[in-house]
Amino acid sequence: MQYLIIGANGSIGSYLYKRMKEDGLDVIGTGHKRNRNDELIYFDILHDDIDSVLQGRLDKPVLAIICIAMAQIDQCLQEREAAYQINIVKTKELIQYFTRQNIKVIYFSSEYVFDGARGYYTEQDATNPINQYGCMKAEMEKYILEFETTVCIFRISKVVHTERVDQNVFWQWEQLQKKHEAAKCIKGNRMSFVCIEDIYQASRLVANMGLCGLFNISGDVSYSRKELAEKFFELSGAGEYRIEECEAAAFGFQEKRPMDVSLDNRKFREKTGYKFTPMDAAIQSYIQNNG
């Protein structure tokens, strides 16, 4: 099996690429920033032809993992046309190309396909997004489930890393604590945080088991941001810390944020037998890796 990471210099894509290299897997990655990583093949989803980029490089069964997206919520509103081209038009073209080539595909969706009114959503629940990013993800889910039935959709919850990277809430909270600043959390915002390693292991299972369809990839337990921040500070022994819960309006968002977007991961667990990483273990791994 050969793995192809489309968007291997992003937050999730770079981790998947690194882990596959560590495990000695045959992996190719694309990136859209020149000279950032000499191993990556330059690919701009808006302007480049994926066939010409990959010509002659794929010589065995392939699993393509699409990590490219415009994922900043307010940016998707401000730059809707560009976001729609990336998140819908060009992503559909990628999937269509791969499926024509009999290449297995994993597409990453988001818990933002829901309005957050109830929480603990399953794969059978109707989507009801309340912002442009969620609308685009819901549109892609609908398209894939209707027309690209060999594709596997990972509906991913908020990702936590075990390393110090900018997008990681653990790293963000650690920096705020060192500066004696409060960790500000959206009041009522609840989600099933998932460890980045679980996404890697779930991808390997798709490759080995040939899974397709929609799966929630999320932790077993839901937390408010405040609850997880408290757990992080207590387990890390960081000393004094401050957490402030604020209404969403206080953050100045241009787009609405769904509040309770916790996910039910039982479908994936029952299909594969996989056990997702508890947040206590994810925090401990973060502490050990960065102590």
Query: What's the CA gap between 100 and 89, in Å, rounded?
Result: 17
Give the chain's length.
Answer: 291
Q: Is residue 117 part of a domain?
A: yes
Any domain includes 8: yes
Contact 160, 195 (CB under 8 A): yes
Q: What is the pLDDT along the chain (291 residues), one digit of tens a residue?
A: 999 999 999 999 999 999 999 999 999 999 987 655 578 999 999 999 999 888 888 888 999 999 999 999 999 999 999 999 999 999 999 999 999 999 999 999 999 999 999 999 999 999 999 999 999 999 999 999 999 999 999 999 999 999 999 889 999 999 999 999 999 999 999 999 999 999 999 999 999 999 999 999 999 999 999 999 999 999 998 789 999 999 999 999 999 999 999 999 999 999 999 999 999 999 999 999 987
In a domain, 142, yes or no: yes
Closest CA to 45 of 81, 69, 77: 69
166 is a domain residue:
no
Q: Which tokens is 11 given?
A: 């937050």
Classified as helix, coil or strand, 191 is strand
Is residue 183 included in any domain, yes or no? no
187-216 tens-digit pLDDT = 999 999 999 999 999 999 999 999 999 999
- Does 199 fall in a domain? yes
Domain assignment present for 22: yes
CA torsion 229-234-237-243 (nearest 10°) is: 40
Q: Against a cut of 0.85, is the pTM above it?
A: yes
Residue given tokens 């038009």 in the structure block: 89
Residues 116-146: pLDDT tens digits?
999 999 999 999 999 999 999 999 999 999 9
Q: Does 134 map to a domain?
A: yes
Q: Quote the mean pLDDT of the chain.
A: 95
What pLDDT is recorded for position 239?
Answer: 82
Count: domains in the chain = 1
Q: Domain with 201 in it: what CATH number?
A: 3.40.50.720
Helices (H), the chain: 11-22, 50-54, 73-78, 80-84, 91-100, 132-147, 169-178, 196-209, 225-236, 266-272, 279-289
Q: By residue range, what is the domain housing residue 205?
A: 2-161+195-220+263-276
